[in-house]
Amino acid sequence: MSHIYQDLNKLHSKAVLYSINRFKKYLSDCHGIDSTVEIVAYTEIYQEHLRWLFEKRFLEKGPITPLSCCLKQFLNWYCNKLDAKNLYTLSAANVEAFYSEGIGKCSKSYKRAFQAALRSFFDFCFEQGYTSHNLRYALPTVRTYQLSSIPRKIEESEAKRLLDSVDRTSAYGKRNYAIL
Protein backbone atom coordinates (compact mmCIF):
# COMPACT_ATOMS: atom_id res chain seq x y z
CA MET A 1 0.00 0.00 0.00
CA SER A 2 2.84 2.41 0.81
CA HIS A 3 4.25 2.05 -2.72
CA ILE A 4 0.96 3.43 -4.07
CA TYR A 5 1.40 6.54 -1.91
CA GLN A 6 4.99 6.89 -3.08
CA ASP A 7 3.85 6.70 -6.71
CA LEU A 8 1.15 9.29 -6.05
CA ASN A 9 3.70 11.57 -4.36
CA LYS A 10 6.03 11.26 -7.37
CA LEU A 11 3.18 12.13 -9.75
CA HIS A 12 2.15 15.05 -7.55
CA SER A 13 5.75 16.30 -7.39
CA LYS A 14 6.06 16.13 -11.17
CA ALA A 15 2.82 18.06 -11.57
CA VAL A 16 3.97 20.73 -9.12
CA LEU A 17 7.35 21.07 -10.83
CA TYR A 18 5.63 21.30 -14.22
CA SER A 19 3.36 24.07 -12.90
CA ILE A 20 6.28 25.96 -11.39
CA ASN A 21 8.26 25.77 -14.63
CA ARG A 22 5.26 26.99 -16.62
CA PHE A 23 4.84 29.89 -14.23
CA LYS A 24 8.55 30.77 -14.56
CA LYS A 25 8.16 30.74 -18.35
CA TYR A 26 5.10 33.01 -18.06
CA LEU A 27 7.03 35.47 -15.87
CA SER A 28 9.90 35.45 -18.33
CA ASP A 29 7.71 35.87 -21.43
CA CYS A 30 5.21 38.40 -20.10
CA HIS A 31 7.19 40.39 -17.56
CA GLY A 32 10.81 39.87 -18.55
CA ILE A 33 11.68 38.32 -15.21
CA ASP A 34 14.57 35.90 -15.56
CA SER A 35 13.98 33.24 -12.90
CA THR A 36 17.26 31.48 -13.65
CA VAL A 37 19.36 34.37 -12.35
CA GLU A 38 19.84 33.93 -8.62
CA ILE A 39 22.79 36.30 -8.20
CA VAL A 40 21.67 39.41 -6.39
CA ALA A 41 23.59 42.65 -6.56
CA TYR A 42 24.29 44.10 -3.14
CA THR A 43 23.67 40.71 -1.50
CA GLU A 44 24.44 41.93 2.02
CA ILE A 45 22.00 44.84 1.82
CA TYR A 46 19.40 42.58 0.21
CA GLN A 47 19.68 40.03 3.05
CA GLU A 48 19.67 42.79 5.66
CA HIS A 49 16.50 44.24 4.13
CA LEU A 50 14.74 40.87 4.28
CA ARG A 51 15.68 40.56 7.97
CA TRP A 52 14.42 44.12 8.51
CA LEU A 53 11.07 43.23 6.93
CA PHE A 54 10.77 40.24 9.22
CA GLU A 55 11.94 41.94 12.43
CA LYS A 56 10.72 45.54 12.09
CA ARG A 57 7.70 45.18 9.82
CA PHE A 58 6.73 41.78 11.22
CA LEU A 59 6.17 40.27 7.79
CA GLU A 60 6.14 36.50 7.39
CA LYS A 61 7.85 34.58 4.60
CA GLY A 62 4.72 34.56 2.40
CA PRO A 63 4.47 38.34 1.90
CA ILE A 64 8.26 38.76 1.84
CA THR A 65 8.75 36.45 -1.16
CA PRO A 66 7.09 38.66 -3.81
CA LEU A 67 8.79 41.73 -2.34
CA SER A 68 12.16 40.02 -2.57
CA CYS A 69 11.59 39.09 -6.23
CA CYS A 70 10.85 42.72 -7.12
CA LEU A 71 13.85 43.88 -5.15
CA LYS A 72 16.18 41.39 -6.88
CA GLN A 73 15.07 42.67 -10.25
CA PHE A 74 15.64 46.30 -9.27
CA LEU A 75 19.04 45.73 -7.64
CA ASN A 76 20.33 43.69 -10.57
CA TRP A 77 19.10 46.34 -13.01
CA TYR A 78 20.74 49.12 -11.02
CA CYS A 79 24.06 47.32 -10.70
CA ASN A 80 24.22 46.13 -14.33
CA LYS A 81 22.73 49.13 -16.08
CA LEU A 82 24.58 51.87 -14.23
CA ASP A 83 27.60 49.87 -13.04
CA ALA A 84 27.06 51.49 -9.65
CA LYS A 85 29.34 50.48 -6.80
CA ASN A 86 27.03 51.56 -3.97
CA LEU A 87 23.48 52.69 -3.34
CA TYR A 88 24.51 56.15 -2.14
CA THR A 89 24.63 57.33 -5.77
CA LEU A 90 21.07 56.15 -6.40
CA SER A 91 18.91 59.06 -7.55
CA ALA A 92 15.29 59.83 -8.38
CA ALA A 93 16.22 59.82 -12.08
CA ASN A 94 17.53 56.25 -11.71
CA VAL A 95 14.26 55.16 -10.11
CA GLU A 96 12.22 56.75 -12.89
CA ALA A 97 14.47 55.17 -15.53
CA PHE A 98 13.97 51.75 -13.98
CA TYR A 99 10.22 52.22 -13.96
CA SER A 100 10.13 53.20 -17.63
CA GLU A 101 12.66 50.60 -18.84
CA GLY A 102 12.28 47.74 -16.39
CA ILE A 103 8.54 47.49 -15.90
CA GLY A 104 7.08 50.01 -18.33
CA LYS A 105 4.93 47.52 -20.22
CA CYS A 106 3.64 45.57 -17.22
CA SER A 107 0.10 45.68 -15.85
CA LYS A 108 -0.94 48.31 -13.35
CA SER A 109 -1.34 45.77 -10.55
CA TYR A 110 2.19 44.49 -11.18
CA LYS A 111 3.52 48.06 -11.09
CA ARG A 112 1.69 48.65 -7.80
CA ALA A 113 3.32 45.56 -6.28
CA PHE A 114 6.70 46.82 -7.44
CA GLN A 115 5.92 50.23 -6.01
CA ALA A 116 5.17 48.73 -2.58
CA ALA A 117 8.36 46.67 -2.61
CA LEU A 118 10.56 49.58 -3.61
CA ARG A 119 8.96 52.00 -1.15
CA SER A 120 9.72 49.59 1.65
CA PHE A 121 13.27 49.15 0.39
CA PHE A 122 13.86 52.91 0.08
CA ASP A 123 12.55 53.44 3.63
CA PHE A 124 15.01 50.82 4.81
CA CYS A 125 17.93 52.30 2.86
CA PHE A 126 17.31 55.79 4.19
CA GLU A 127 16.88 54.55 7.77
CA GLN A 128 20.15 52.58 7.56
CA GLY A 129 22.07 55.38 5.81
CA TYR A 130 22.58 53.61 2.48
CA THR A 131 21.00 56.55 0.62
CA SER A 132 21.30 60.27 1.29
CA HIS A 133 17.55 60.85 1.15
CA ASN A 134 14.39 58.74 1.05
CA LEU A 135 13.64 57.86 -2.55
CA ARG A 136 10.16 56.52 -1.85
CA TYR A 137 8.75 59.77 -3.22
CA ALA A 138 10.65 59.37 -6.49
CA LEU A 139 8.42 56.44 -7.44
CA PRO A 140 5.77 57.41 -9.97
CA THR A 141 2.18 57.14 -8.81
CA VAL A 142 0.30 54.24 -10.33
CA ARG A 143 -3.42 54.80 -10.10
CA THR A 144 -5.64 51.76 -10.19
CA TYR A 145 -9.37 51.93 -9.85
CA GLN A 146 -11.48 49.20 -8.37
CA LEU A 147 -13.60 47.40 -10.98
CA SER A 148 -12.05 49.46 -13.79
CA SER A 149 -11.69 46.41 -16.02
CA ILE A 150 -15.34 45.43 -15.85
CA PRO A 151 -17.11 46.26 -19.11
CA ARG A 152 -19.84 48.90 -18.95
CA LYS A 153 -22.23 46.90 -21.10
CA ILE A 154 -22.44 43.74 -23.15
CA GLU A 155 -23.94 43.27 -26.57
CA GLU A 156 -27.48 41.94 -26.90
CA SER A 157 -26.25 38.76 -28.62
CA GLU A 158 -23.83 38.08 -25.76
CA ALA A 159 -26.61 38.62 -23.20
CA LYS A 160 -28.89 36.20 -25.05
CA ARG A 161 -26.12 33.61 -25.29
CA LEU A 162 -25.46 33.98 -21.55
CA LEU A 163 -29.13 33.53 -20.65
CA ASP A 164 -29.43 30.52 -22.96
CA SER A 165 -26.45 28.85 -21.27
CA VAL A 166 -28.21 28.63 -17.89
CA ASP A 167 -29.72 25.23 -17.05
CA ARG A 168 -33.24 26.12 -15.87
CA THR A 169 -34.21 22.57 -14.91
CA SER A 170 -32.81 22.88 -11.37
CA ALA A 171 -33.68 25.29 -8.60
CA TYR A 172 -30.19 26.81 -8.78
CA GLY A 173 -30.51 27.28 -12.51
CA LYS A 174 -33.84 29.04 -12.13
CA ARG A 175 -32.39 31.30 -9.45
CA ASN A 176 -29.33 32.09 -11.61
CA TYR A 177 -31.54 32.82 -14.61
CA ALA A 178 -33.66 35.21 -12.50
CA ILE A 179 -30.53 36.99 -11.25
CA LEU A 180 -29.15 37.37 -14.76
* Structural domain for 92, as ranges: 37-138
61 belongs to a structural domain: yes
Q: Where are the alpha helices (DSSP H) in the chain?
A: 2-31, 43-55, 61-82, 92-102, 108-128, 156-164, 171-179
* Model pLDDT for residues 24-69, shown as the tens digit of each residue: 777 766 666 655 545 555 778 888 888 888 888 776 766 667 677 7
95 belongs to a structural domain: yes
How confident is the model at residue 94, as a pLDDT? 85
- Is the model more confident about 174 or about 18? 174
pTM of the model: 0.56
Assess whether 70 and 157 both reside in one domain.
Answer: no
Determine contact, residues 124/49, Cβ cutoff 8 Å. Answer: yes
How confident is the model at residue 150, as a pLDDT? 72
What is the CA 76 to chain-centroid distance, rounded? 16
How confident is the model at residue 37, as a pLDDT? 46
Assess whether 79 and 121 both reside in one domain.
Answer: yes
Q: What Å distances lie between residue 89 and 39, 68, 78, 104, 110, CA to CA?
A: 21, 22, 10, 23, 26
**60-84 core/surface letters (b: 16 or more CB in 10 A; e: else):** eeeebeebbbbbbbbbbbbbeeeeb
13 pLDDT tier (thresholds 50, 70, 90): low
Q: Where are the alpha helices (DSSP H) in 56-91?
A: 61-82
How confident is the model at residue 169, as a pLDDT? 92
22 belongs to a structural domain: no
Give the number of domains in the chain. Answer: 2
Q: What is the CATH number of the domain that holds 99?
A: 1.10.150
* Model pLDDT for residues 123-157, shown as the tens digit of each residue: 988 988 888 888 888 887 777 677 766 777 888 89
Contacts of 106 (CB under 8 A, 6+ apart): 31, 114
Contacts of 89 (CB under 8 A, 6+ apart): 82
